């Protein structure tokens, strides 16, 4: 299992990349006067702020359970994704405002060739770091790293659009293309920001594990199910990198405590193998007792949905 310092080093790399791209894209804007390149530089400022937030929340999330947080602190990563999504939306509003202002008051671009080369160099940096963060975030189920990687990849596509737009302005002489491209950039990053906010809300609201993960869980249960062993009240949720699985296991009432315990140990072992970094809670019930079927709802006494 990867250590928290390893993940933190990746975010420090993201911070360094953001600082470098801010400098490069600001230089490109100063050289050309393009509002599209200015919007690109503004998004890199957001990259820097959100990378710092991601680093702080990752350290918070890695803290071990304590007396007040017995399930750990992994959910802190969802605050990072939420903050990042909010900052992206703020950047989109700022970019759109600048673009509309320039659309009404056009201005000629200067030194386009040099400016585009500088901006392209910044995009290459973001591409490399973004791909690295995405791979690490998916491998280690870190929403903070994955969100930062998505943000950097959005920045790459933004830069490609801006470079193409500024290039078209230089070729065609149609100066209004520059703010039009900036508006398209704003619309594109709104989509990414909204997606990150949704993931943050889903995590904080204990959304069930993805369908493919639930299918893997049910495949394990099917291996154990017989006419004497059954399951119900299956619930799942994710908290940062950790998944939680709870279910009731129904067995013959004549079984000894030892027999039931052996079954639960084997079942929990296989569930943890199917869902890495999962915490599994099981509750043993006699299959012949009608009361065993009266507690499948979240609150006992309610009818199950």
Q: Output the domain CATH number for residue 272.
A: 3.30.70.1350
CB within 8 Å of 49: residues ≥ 6 apart:
87
Residue 160 lies in a domain: yes
Task: Please classify residue 212 by burial: count the beta carbons closer than 10 Å to its beta carbon, then call 0-12 exposed, 13-18 middle and 19+ buried.
Answer: exposed
CB within 8 Å of 263: residues ≥ 6 apart:
224, 229, 249, 251
For residues 117 and 235, state if they share a domain: no
For residues 24 and 154, state if they share a domain: yes
For residues 55 and 193, state if they share a domain: yes
For residues 88 and 219, state if they share a domain: no
For residues 45 and 13, state if they share a domain: yes
- CB contact burial 9-33 (16+ within 10 A = b; e otherwise): ebbeebbebbebbbebbbbbbbbbb
Please state the pTM of the whole predicted model.
0.64
Alpha carbons 51 and 58: distance in angstroms, whole number: 10
Smallest CA-to-CA distance from 266 within 295, 232, 229 is with 229
* pLDDT digits (tens), the chain, 305 positions: 444 677 778 888 888 888 888 888 888 888 887 776 777 777 777 778 778 877 887 777 777 777 888 777 777 777 777 777 787 787 778 777 777 776 776 666 666 677 778 888 888 998 988 898 888 887 777 776 777 787 788 778 777 777 777 777 777 777 777 777 777 777 877 877 787 788 778 777 888 898 999 999 999 999 999 999 999 999 999 877 788 999 999 999 999 999 999 999 999 999 999 998 899 999 999 999 888 888 887 776 555 55
């Amino acid at each position: 299992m990867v250590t928290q310092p390893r993940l933190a080093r990746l975010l420090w790399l993201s911070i360094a990349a953001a600082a470098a791209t801010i400098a490069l894209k600001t230089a490109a804007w100063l050289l050309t006067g393009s509002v599209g390149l200015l919007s690109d530089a503004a998004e890199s400022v957001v990259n820097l702020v959100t990378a710092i937030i991601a680093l702080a929340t990752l350290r918070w999330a890695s803290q071990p359970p304590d007396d007040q947080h017995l399930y750990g602190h992994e959910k802190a990563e969802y605050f990072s994704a939420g903050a990042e999504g909010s900052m992206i939306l703020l950047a989109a509003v700022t970019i759109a405002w600048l673009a509309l202002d320039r659309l009404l008051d056009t201005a000629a671009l200067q030194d386009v060739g040099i400016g585009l080369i500088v901006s392209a160099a910044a995009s290459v940096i973001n591409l490399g770091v973004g791909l690295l963060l995405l791979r690490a975030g998916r491998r280690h189920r870190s929403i903070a790293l994955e969100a930062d990687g998505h943000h950097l990849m959005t920045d790459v596509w933004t830069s490609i659009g801006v470079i193409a737009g500024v290039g078209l302005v230089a070729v065609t002489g149609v100066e209004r293309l520059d703010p039009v491209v900036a508006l398209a950039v704003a619309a594109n990053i709104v989509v990414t920001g909204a997606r990150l906010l949704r993931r943050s809300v889903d995590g904080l609201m204990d959304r069930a594990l993805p369908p493919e993960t639930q299918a893997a869980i049910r495949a394990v249960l099917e291996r154990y199910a017989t006419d004497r062993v059954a399951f119900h009240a299956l619930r799942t949720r994710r908290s940062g990198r950790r998944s939680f699985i709870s279910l009731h296991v129904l067995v013959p009432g004549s079984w000894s405590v030892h027999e039931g315990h052996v079954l639960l140990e084997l079942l929990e072992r296989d569930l943890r193998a199917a869902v890495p970094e999962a915490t599994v809670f099981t509750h043993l019930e006699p299959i012949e007792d009608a009361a065993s079927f009266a507690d499948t709802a979240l609150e006992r006494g309610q009818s199950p949905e």
